[in-house]
Structure 1
Amino acid sequence: MKQFAFLASLVFLLGACSAPQKTEKEATFTNRNIKVDSEIMTPEILWSFGRVGSVSVSPDGQTVAFTISYTKIEENKTYSDIYTMPVTGGDFTQITTTKGGEFEVSWRPDGAKICYLSAASGDVQLWEMNPDGSQNQQVTKIEGGIEGYKYSPTMDKLAYLKNVKLDKTVLDLHPDLKFADARIEDDLMYRHWDHWVDPTYTHVHYIKYANGATVGKGTDIMKDERFHSPNKPWGGMEQINFSPDGKSIAYTSKKKVGMEAAFSTNSDIYVYNIKEGTTSNFTDGMMGYDIAPTYSPDGKYMAWESMERDGYEADQNRLFIMNLATFEKKDYTADFDQNVHGLTWTPDSKHIYFTSEDKGSKEIFRFDMADEKISQVTDGIHNYNSVAIAANGLIATQTSMKHPTEIISIDAETGEGTNISKVNEPLLGQLKMGDVEKRWIKTTDNKDMLVWVIYPPNFDKNKKYPALLYCGGGPQSMVSQFWSLRWNFQMMAANDYIIVAPNRRGLPGFGQEWNEQISGDYGGQNMKDYFSAIDAVAKEPFVDENRLGAAGASYGGYSVYWLAGNHNKRFKAFISHCGIFNFEQMYSTTEEMFFVDWDYKGNYWDKSNKTAMRSYANSPHNFVKNWDTPMLVIHGAKDFRIPYTQGMGAYNTAKMVGVPARFLYFPEENHWVLQCHNGILWQREFFRWLDTYLK
């Protein structure tokens, strides 16, 4: 259930064209010069911000290529284009203006071309263009299209992802029943997150490449294997890399099927020898997630991210490095009680940069190969979500509770960052944001807990404000300096609410012990942490303790359902988005079985398992006799992690026990709300509900 930074890209394929082509000036759209009537955030303003997507630094470290997506609200569509700018900052240049939009932007290894994926030719293919946007040329013509790509450092090969059909459908089995609409399943993992598993598998292929074109036919390096690479659903090309000499391809795959796959997180790093056509498992015997292999530029080492325990998706994400001469591998984070994400080698192979959760923010760290030590590079109230090497230091993407993603130039020695993109500066300059305060509050077991308190714009300490407790999801997803189109704290504060966002037990960034405490203890200490946070802030003279609400999604949605039966009349309104209502039903209907099996510590029919029985005893449906507070329930039909029947069950029950309730149901949304008009509707109903009962 953990939301991996997510980052899943929304690709809107809006048109087709041929190559080479002239750009279509009338097809682009931008909100950069938008003028707003109010300094206070509205849902429409929230959806008007530009969203920085792919960010890639040129091989010479001098230029950044990136995408910006803008939503045209009246069309319910998003337009994405490519831009460039110097790593030192300054005005950026828009170099594409096409209908279909471009994504997965990178530089060719020689720096002569900018590369991207586009569906301009009918399906998704790889394209190249000059750095000024001229001479767009289609590179691949793979039947059915591709999903990702990567050039070999030697530039004589191209790796790409393609779906390969290996299983039979109902029509294959019964060709005479052309109008039958059904599925036949014999094992688990027949659906995942928001889609039903189809008869195809995503495989890594490679093909010869020369002078801007592919040569010959591609080779499937996983031929006939009923497995995926990269890992579904969030893995991308960061899980696949060529060796520096271009002779091998390292890739990530969980080579398990059916029930075994549903209960396991054991993915491995495989290396395919192109000349020999053979594959080796480099992490055989390592039982958790092993992902994202990346070679040192000198070819001597391979680094990757590794979790130790099978079935535990929130285990510590460690830095492992293998000496490719001796095949010895070592965990270099044994004394680093944090996670590593997004490993990036320096060109001299002497350092690895990565991001890590750190006490309510995400910071950049550096590993030194010589002394085998990790040092912190940045520190502040922000999230650094990616890091790349530039000629003058580092290029990173940053968010905070006060601004969406921007591109930051960082001094690698001092950690000082400068916003060089300023994509949303024109719009932000017209708005007034609420202050964000970092508080440490004592918990019931005398621990220090970080709680973010977000104040309304134009906050008046002499007024009394309603307060909203934010219940975080994951459950192991740090309440950090994120920016969201739904759970946006500035949006909430703009509606004159004090927001209380605690980093309760069960979140990373505060040590593995704090992170792990929640497993097997749903309804336990982390719920007491919620009470500690809201009770402490409710004592403030500017908070009306008689107008408190609680809202959350996923595990946060479960938290709201649990609080509804155990809050002792603290709250006057609840909102639960995609929350777990009935643990037994959840255990039997979710798709990644390892998640519930690990966190509940077992199934519901083994009555001898005391820890599991304690988990099931804390299922919210066991406390509905105590429900007495109005509740808004939100759920998407395509949420297969927490099926929509959980929300339906909570709403129906609320109505049956006489609690005022409303059900907001999205037939085409999943665990999130991704479409513009649906997102604006979500915001409007969110505040209509809160305002009814808290104002």
Structure 2
Amino acid sequence: MTVQASKFTPEVLISAPRRSAGVPNARGDIVLYTVSTYSFETHSKSSQIRILSLKDGASHLVSEDTGASDPVWISDTEVAFFKGSDKGTDLFYQNVEAPTDEPNLIHSFHGSLSSAKTKTLSSGKVALVTAAVTTPDGNLFLAADEEKPLSSGRTYDSLFVRHWDTWKTKNENALWYGQLAKEDGRWTLENDSFNLLVGIKLASPIGPFGGASDFDIHEKGIAFVAKDPTLNLARYTKTDLYLVPLKSFTDQPGAPEIVKTGNLIGYTHNPTFSRDGKSIAFFRMKDKQNEADKHQLLVIPDISNLQKVETFYATSDDRGSWDRSPSSILWTADNKHLILSAEQHGRVLLYKVPSSASEATNLPAPIFEDGAVSDAHLLGDSETLFVTTRSRIESSRYLTLNHESQNITEVSSSAKNGKAFGLTQDQCFDIWYPGSAGYDNHALCMTPSNFDKDKKYPLAFLVHGGPQSAWTDDWSTRWNPAIFAEQGYIVVCPNPTGSTGYGQAHTDAIACNWGGAPYQDLVKAFEYIEKEMPYVDIDRSVALGASYGGYMMNWIQGHPLGRRFKAIVCHDGVFSTLSQWSTEELFFPEHDFGGTLWDKRENYEKWDPARYTGNWKTPMLVIHNELDYRLSIAEGLAMFNVLQARNIPSKLLVFPDENHWVLKPENSLVWHKEVLNWINKFSGVSPAEYGYYAIYTVPLGSGSAQLSQQISEQPTSTESHSFNTFSNASRTPLPHSWALSAMATPPAFFHALLRPAILQILRATGYHATRPAVLDSLTDLAARYMLLLCQNTAHHAAINHAGRGGHDDSDDDDDSEGEGNGGSAVAPAQADDFTLTDVRLALQDAGAFGAERTVTEEMWRGEEDTRGVEEFIAWFAGPRMKELMEFGNADGESEATDYLSALKKKHNQAAGDAKFQGTILGRPGEGSQVLVEGGPVTTIEEWIAQRSPDLLRSRGDGDEKRPASSAGSSSSGLSSVDSERRDVRPDGDMMDLS
């Protein structure tokens, strides 16, 4: 089963399943992941913990408890996860091969835990390390235990005062550890957990975004990173690597040992033990105030000697010769190589390097170059990696990669390589254009899915934040270029001076140059588009940006480029660089403007957009959030004040409960609507439309049945489609599904299929006649019910088997030789799109079945849930069904003794004829043909036309043109051809059902 969107809208983006990176078990045959969805029908979020079998591609549910989080493997077949409440955090575990109705409790912690990591020890026991908010005296913090002060006043005598979206308290992050053991078949925590950082002034993970990548564990101890407590935390990025050796995870911790790295004294991250635990690899930056400095690779060959640290690709200036900034580390099974991910030219690639610096003589070459890799793990002790990646058209893709042969095998694609969203790779392209520094700059671009090179489209010019960041071939739920492309824009996302992935010099050149080279690069990008892209209607351009991109919107607004845009959108931008010291991470303005405000004020003033507010003229939408402590709400208010005072068309959107980003689904939908409505209004694009519908089709063929769900924006005017268009009326909820449907009438196919069945049910129940409106209503209800079952089946199949890699024959663009993905052979998996279990779950959702199991619907044994199938077969082959079939095919001599016939005899004076009622043929001799009202028809469309005079009139056909046999009622039903009475009567008359 595939889920297919014919129009990619904000609702589709926000409510689509969000699948985490996959994490395989130690054996390498099952992958653990999570899926979350948001329903705009129920206004609620659902989440699931799931496993994916790499043997057959089947996905199975572990938990659908929305409170479950941080799932981790504790054995090859058991998963542990947290569930938090105001009373603390419970640690549960579940056997994924034979799950019980309820998970098993391991331990209850009196605090808030997250970011768990586990390691199976040689004893068979499991080491557990987790992060937790901790009080100054070293205990777990629980908000419910905190005394409520009588005053709301806060006092501070050091920085941070607030960070990201939170006011700082005396509590800090700490790492807690313990040991799990199995006793009498159940996992337990052997000892009280220990605070690894008790009594020392270190905090880890590092806020606001630190998590499991800030520490690693092995049998020999725990490695972690923490900020240097001797420096002002808000002004310096310096973090150090520490190791706490442990003889046992049931012992109290010793003192952390710091790792010295010479002249590299900047930010440290991603400590990673080798598989044998003898070595640690990690990254470190050189500068202690530059958060965007290059990550350099280092390895401690032997953790018993922390004084010996190898720096890879070292140079005399300590800048390193490899001009890329890697972000993740994975050791190969033999510990001889490292797999690194790093950004390059708008992609996130995988590289392979020797694990010894002395052997790393050649600069790394990529082994995988498609999209943006977000995670990679080794499958057991093999040479195969399990990789999670994304792209501009793909929200989550799982594949396996042999790091020796570089062979790729597709495992699963959430978006069916874009087709689930109505997107294709053909929409994506890149451009290189002359930059301000004498070398070419790069931009990622996207066209509408219905792009025609002979037509002209307005330009959506997107400027990224950071500023030391980049647009990449990645998926985003906040700034997704496809959203703008599907509104009818050519989307261009430039990576000007300051962007990452093009060498450190390109990144560093933005320092003390915010409105200089980056602005000139954007001007040159705009000029290139105007000259080289004739399908762009340059006079209908709009510009959008957030954070530094918002700064650039204000800078553009005050400079000549601003006059080239019809409208501007500024999200959480900088109004004045002089107010940068109201931010929380002060190392950022201090580095980017060359010093403090009092020492280097000229740099702050030089690039201050507020100096040019007298030039502002372009209509602007300002968005700012009250929990944004990086750029305070005052910046947005100042922008809007200036715009209003200058009588410039403008609008202000504020979210009191959002930070620098808009993350809550309902808020995100409002954000998208306001942004799209604003730019469409001034660019001349049709007003953005948000209601959309779903249809389901079941292709017939020799293969397994496939149910396809298509989701599309509901047009405000009638358009010609190759599928059925539904009017925008009542909504049919789809529980926990991103395939929301706003529809009134189910597909005509369902009506055609069900109307005869409804007629026969009425006959079988003993009714002689009914009003046409009753038959119409019953048919419509049955069609809606069938549509609901299809929706729910599609939903469960999309989650249970989300893009298992099954080949889609409809994709004419597939390389028949399997040489996609950079020339690597791709072997698509073959799998059914839905199973009986999915249908049964849909029936449970609709209330037809009771939920017999509360947590999971089938045992994990690699087989379908076939409960009830044998009983159905027995009934179908039984005497009752046999008699019914005889009535429909034979000479009518059989005696009907089943419940159906008995019921009919109660409602028919001619008991001898009762056995024929409820059958399609009726009494012998009454008719030998079964016709749809109005005479024989050959298509469903013709049948619809005959039953709908309103539709005929809308097409210009009068009643006089209708066949005489169909005059009168708009209802239709089966009739006995030779009957003296007609099934069709004028409205208000009764319809003969005999």
Larger mean Cα displacement after TM superposition, 417-426 or 657-666: 417-426
1: CA distance, partners of 2:137 / 2:578: 31
Given candidates 118, 126, 146, the residue that maps to 2:83 is 118
Q: Which residue of 2 aligns with 1:398?
A: 389
Q: Does 1:303 align with 2:287?
A: no
Larger mean Cα displacement after TM superposition, 502-511 or 204-213: 204-213
Q: Does 1:597 align with 2:562?
A: no
Q: Which residue of 1 aligns with 2:519?
A: 527
Q: Which residue of 2 aligns with 1:467?
A: 459
Q: 1:444 to 1:264 in 2, by over 3 A?
A: closer
Q: 1:88 to 1:630 in 2, by over 3 A?
A: farther
Q: Does 1:249 align with 2:238?
A: no
Q: Does 1:59 align with 2:26?
A: yes
Instruction: Say whether the 8 Å CA contact 2:349–2:370 is kept in structure 1.
Output: no
Counting aligned pairs with the same residue, the percent is 26
Counterpart code for 1:282 = V
Q: Which residue of 1 aligns with 2:577?
A: 583
2: CA distance, partners of 1:216 / 1:299: 24
Counterpart code for 1:553 = A
* Unaligned ranges ≥5, structure 1: 1-31, 169-174
Return the structure number with greater strand share.
1
Q: Which residue of 2 aligns with 1:330?
A: 310
Q: Which residue of 2 aligns with 1:262?
A: 234
What is the SS of the residue equivalent to 1:44? helix
Q: Deviations over 1:588-647 (max 9, x none)?
A: 2100100110011112222xx4xx523431111111011010010111111111112111
Relative to the length of structure 1, the TM-score reads 0.88
Instruction: Say whether the 8 Å CA contact 1:638–1:671 is kept in structure 2.
Output: yes
Instruction: Say whether the 8 Å CA contact 2:558–2:613 is kept in structure 1.
Output: yes
Q: Which residue of 2 aligns with 1:654?
A: 643
Instruction: Say whether the 8 Å CA contact 2:21–2:374 is kept in structure 1.
Output: no
Given candidates 199, 202, 214, the residue that maps to 2:189 is 214
Q: What pairs up with 1:274-673 in 2 under 5 angstroms?
A: 274-275=246-247, 277-283=254-260, 286-324=264-302, 325-326=304-305, 327-333=307-313, 334-369=320-355, 371-372=359-360, 373=362, 375-390=364-379, 391=382, 393-425=384-416, 428-429=419-420, 431-433=422-424, 435-539=427-531, 540-568=533-561, 569-586=563-580, 588-606=581-599, 609=600, 613-673=602-662
Report the CA distance between 1:167 and its aligned residue. Answer: 8.3
Q: 1:413 to 1:666 in 2, by over 3 A?
A: same
Counterpart code for 2:129 = A
Counterpart code for 2:256 = T
Instruction: Say whether the 8 Å CA contact 1:576–1:632 is kept in structure 2.
Output: yes
1: CA distance, partners of 2:62 / 2:569: 43
Q: Deviations over 1:229-288 (max 9, x none)?
A: 011111112221223xx232111111327x711101111111113357222111365420
Report the CA distance between 1:183 and its aligned residue. Answer: 1.1
Report the CA distance between 1:125 and its aligned residue. Answer: 3.2
Q: 1:132 to 1:122 in 2, by over 3 A?
A: farther
1: CA distance, partners of 2:345 / 2:98: 42
Q: 1:429 to 1:52 in 2, by over 3 A?
A: closer
* Aligned length, in residue pairs: 647
Report the CA distance between 1:416 and its aligned residue. Answer: 4.6
What is the SS of the residue equivalent to 1:408? strand
Relative to the length of structure 2, the TM-score reads 0.62
2: CA distance, partners of 1:80 / 1:374: 42
Q: Which residue of 1 aligns with 2:761?
A: none
Instruction: Say whether the 8 Å CA contact 2:131–2:176 is kept in structure 1.
Output: yes
Q: Deviations over 1:356-384 (max 9, x none)?
A: 00111000111113632553344445111
Instruction: Say whether the 8 Å CA contact 1:522–1:615 is kept in structure 2.
Output: no
Q: 1:163 to 1:644 in 2, by over 3 A?
A: same
Report the CA distance between 1:133 and its aligned residue. Answer: 6.0
Counterpart code for 1:166 = P
Counterpart code for 1:107 = W
1: CA distance, partners of 2:40 / 2:612: 41
Counterpart code for 1:197 = K
Q: Which residue of 2 aligns with 1:198?
A: 169
Larger mean Cα displacement after TM superposition, 247-256 or 57-66: 247-256
What is the SS of the residue equivalent to 2:395? strand
Return the structure number with greater helix share.
2
Q: 1:595 to 1:688 in 2, by over 3 A?
A: same
Instruction: Say whether the 8 Å CA contact 1:166–1:226 is kept in structure 2.
Output: no
Report the CA distance between 1:531 and its aligned residue. Answer: 0.9
Instruction: Say whether the 8 Å CA contact 1:383–1:482 is kept in structure 2.
Output: yes
Instruction: Say whether the 8 Å CA contact 1:365–1:374 is kept in structure 2.
Output: no
Given candidates 150, 154, 158, the residue that maps to 1:183 is 154
Q: Deviations over 1:487-534 (max 9, x none)?
A: 111110001111111111111111111111111111011111111112
Instruction: Say whether the 8 Å CA contact 2:3–2:420 is kept in structure 1.
Output: no
Q: 1:430 to 1:513 in 2, by over 3 A?
A: closer
2: CA distance, partners of 1:542 / 1:145: 54
2: CA distance, partners of 1:206 / 1:107: 16
Rg (Cα) greater in structure: 2
What is the SS of the residue equivalent to 1:45? helix
Counterpart code for 1:256 = P
Counterpart code for 2:72 = S
Instruction: Say whether the 8 Å CA contact 1:151–1:158 is kept in structure 2.
Output: yes
1: CA distance, partners of 2:45 / 2:32: 19
* Unaligned ranges ≥5, structure 2: 139-145, 248-252, 314-319, 685-994
Larger mean Cα displacement after TM superposition, 211-220 or 520-529: 211-220
2: CA distance, partners of 1:530 / 1:584: 24
Report the CA distance between 1:201 and its aligned residue. Answer: 1.1
Q: Deviations over 1:119-162 (max 9, x none)?
A: 37954333221123614222232112312322344135322222
Q: 1:176 to 1:331 in 2, by over 3 A?
A: closer
Instruction: Say whether the 8 Å CA contact 1:387–1:394 is kept in structure 2.
Output: yes
Instruction: Say whether the 8 Å CA contact 1:565–1:620 is kept in structure 2.
Output: yes
Counterpart code for 1:578 = D
Q: What pairs up with 1:15-26 in 2 under 5 angstroms?
A: none
Larger mean Cα displacement after TM superposition, 334-343 or 659-668: 334-343
Counterpart code for 2:132 = K
Q: 1:35 to 1:347 in 2, by over 3 A?
A: closer
What is the SS of the residue equivalent to 1:505? coil
Instruction: Say whether the 8 Å CA contact 1:129–1:137 is kept in structure 2.
Output: yes
